[in-house]
Amino acid sequence: MTNFSELSNNQPLRFDTHQAADFIGFKPSTLKLSRVTGILAGVNSPTYRKMGRKVVYDRVVLEVWLSQFENQPNTAA
């Protein structure tokens, strides 16, 4: 039987806060704070869903959020 909550590479489609924080390279507490402030790493924080009391992040949303940091030149000289 196919498990539609996971892709063929065995990565889940949705992450809880701890998994999402690990996926994008932040501490869970920082990700939790970003839900209040709306800002993470100087940009809008990734969107999330509440399923009852549980907060989940879609993997695709996190990948798109991370992609905005690709190919940014280092301005420090």
**Is 75 domain-assigned?**
no
How far is residue 31 from each of residues 3, 7, 53, measured CA to CA in Å? 27, 24, 16
In total, how many domains does the chain have?
1
Phi, psi of 43 (to 5 degrees): -130, 175
Mean pLDDT along residues 6-17:
80
Mean pLDDT over residues 9-23, rounded?
Answer: 93
Query: Is 5 inside any structural domain?
Result: no
Mean pLDDT (whole number) for 1-21: 75
- Predicted local confidence at residue 39, as pLDDT: 98
pLDDT reported for residue 74: 72
List, for residues 36-72, the tens digit of each pLDDT value.
Answer: 999 999 999 999 999 999 999 999 999 999 999 988 6
Residue 55: closest CA among 68, 64, 45, 65: 45
Q: Which domain holds residue 45?
A: 14-67
Amino acid identity of residue 14, one-letter, is R
